[in-house]
Chain A
């Protein structure tokens, strides 16, 4: 090995060339991590109990301590919370001050939960998110019309872990998985589904058995790309439609006019054809979509070559015909 390395500059250059991509990969993977929020002291007190599976309760009169199990729904993962979009908030920014009393008084049970619109309705700072349009779309969705009050923003968006998926590091496949996990939380979990509706949970594998390369579609495309109507003014479609109205026509995605450009890749779409000449260049960064990733220049080149071949054949055949005609007559 040592001998090989000392053979000269050429071998060192090759070694360096091989290590460069590795160095780049390491650099980008490290720099891609999102910064965490610092959890304030007051909230840390809450997380002493709510941040673990068990908590201890002390009777101030007797000094007796009992260990209790923390209900799943009341558990907050401190790490996930610190990374969440709302992770910089104190617990009491959204929850009642009564929670500072231990054990929590009965009044806390009657606390009304905030919804997105309570803070973001008419909010100029986040006007680009179009929360009003999102609400309008949601109210027309099958979730709102079928489930009414049972269903809220928090049914899909966990306020303690929610992150803007398009700002997430990593590949498209991770963002798709994260987005789909919100749907699968009920549609892939018989208990959560049963809490919301008295209906048999449809088998997703069976109901999608018409879809070719099913697992590939599940990994690469979000549920809402086929199941929600796109709206140009909002980044993520919220009008989830009944199953029978969802996309079933392959070419709606597999064409240069792919609906995915208006949904899955919306936040990345800057121009339709990038400098390399690919119609849907943005899709190409992390995926390949048959029928959608056509290259303008290759298209032109292939058509020109094809026409030239046909012209060449036509000329050749004509000259051969003329020769035969001259030699043998009619």
Chain B
């Protein structure tokens, strides 16, 4: 089986990704430890968890802006640009593939190539996690570091409590994302191929995949409308 390698993950991006992953893991573990603190079964000692969480949160904010500049000023930014035209159809095709096609050995409807690193589901998930939910966590996190900046009372509810609730909820969604993201490491050509790509930076395109390299528009046009 002939394979072609494309360089999709530059070094700066891989370093950011792995640093971000470590920070996220640290934040989730320390966050869960504090949220469910129990004197009898401490996951991480409370004061250590507080310090680690604060340090990781500050570093995550820096990491976010580093990545933001990366997508703004390098060519990888184009992979995150979403097209509104045909979005739902593409989303549906990809979801169908994940739910049924993948078990039948069907080719991926949106295989990876030089111009398309992410399928529509990956694209919207990464955008929402990175540009909506992550900022919510660090903005509310900074506010909780400086609680005097928070409005004390919002219609009878403690402003700090509402901020914390938002912080914890956003953190929960990130932890759900992380679990699914970790599972999707194995959904490559082989179980370890995605993992290898994130280490070496090269994505392997196999001949099997090549068959499906035709543009999506053509593919959609071929299907008869019901």
A: residues with CB less than 8 A from B are 21, 171, 212, 216, 249-252, 254-255, 257, 284-288, 290-291, 293-295, 298, 302, 305-306, 309-310, 313, 316-317, 319-320, 322-323, 327
Contact = CB atoms under 8 A, between A and B. Distances in A.
A323 B101 CA distance: 11
Interface residues of B, number: 35
B149 interface: no
Contacts of A306: 175-176, 179
B198 interface: no
B154 to A, nearest CB: 10
Contact of A288 (B47, B50, B103, B158): B158
Interface stretch (B6-14, B30-38, B215-223): B30-38
Contacts of B51: 212
Contacts of B161: 284, 287-288, 293
Given A284-B158, A284-B161, A290 B35 contact: yes
A298 B183 CA distance: 25
B186 A255 contact: no
B164 to A, nearest CB: 5
A309 B180 contact: yes
A91 to B, nearest CB: 40
Contacts of B34: 254, 290-291
Given A285-B158, A319-B103, A327-B105, A294 B35 contact: yes
Given A251-B39, A305-B176, A290 B164 contact: yes
Contact of B37 (A171, A255, A288): A255
B103 A254 contact: no
A254 B46 contact: yes
A291 B36 contact: yes
16 contacts: A212-B51, A249-B39, A251-B46, A254-B34, A254-B46, A287-B158, A288-B163, A288-B164, A290-B37, A291-B37, A294-B36, A295-B165, A319-B103, A323-B102, A323-B104, A327-B105
B102 A320 contact: yes
B39 A257 contact: yes
Given A309-B179, A320-B102, A252 B39 contact: yes
Interface string B34-71: 11111100100011001100000000000000000000
Contacts, number: 82
A309 B180 CA distance: 8
B88 interface: no
B179 A291 contact: no
B147 A216 contact: yes
Contacts of A309: 176, 179-180
Contacts of A310: 179
User: 6 closest A-B pairs (Cβ-Cβ)?
Assistant: A291-B37, A250-B46, A288-B160, A288-B161, A251-B39, A323-B103
B192 to A, nearest CB: 13
B137 to A, nearest CB: 15
Given A305-B176, A309-B180, A323-B105, 14 more contacts: A212-B47, A212-B51, A249-B39, A250-B46, A251-B39, A251-B42, A252-B39, A285-B158, A286-B158, A291-B37, A293-B161, A306-B175, A306-B176, A313-B179
B16 interface: no
A295 B157 CA distance: 14
A317 B36 contact: no
Nearest to A251: B39
B118 interface: no
A291 B102 contact: no
A250 B51 CA distance: 13
B172 interface: yes
Select the residue from A257, A288, A319, A327 with max chain B CB neighbours within 10 A. Answer: A288
Given A251-B37, A284-B161, A302 B172 contact: yes
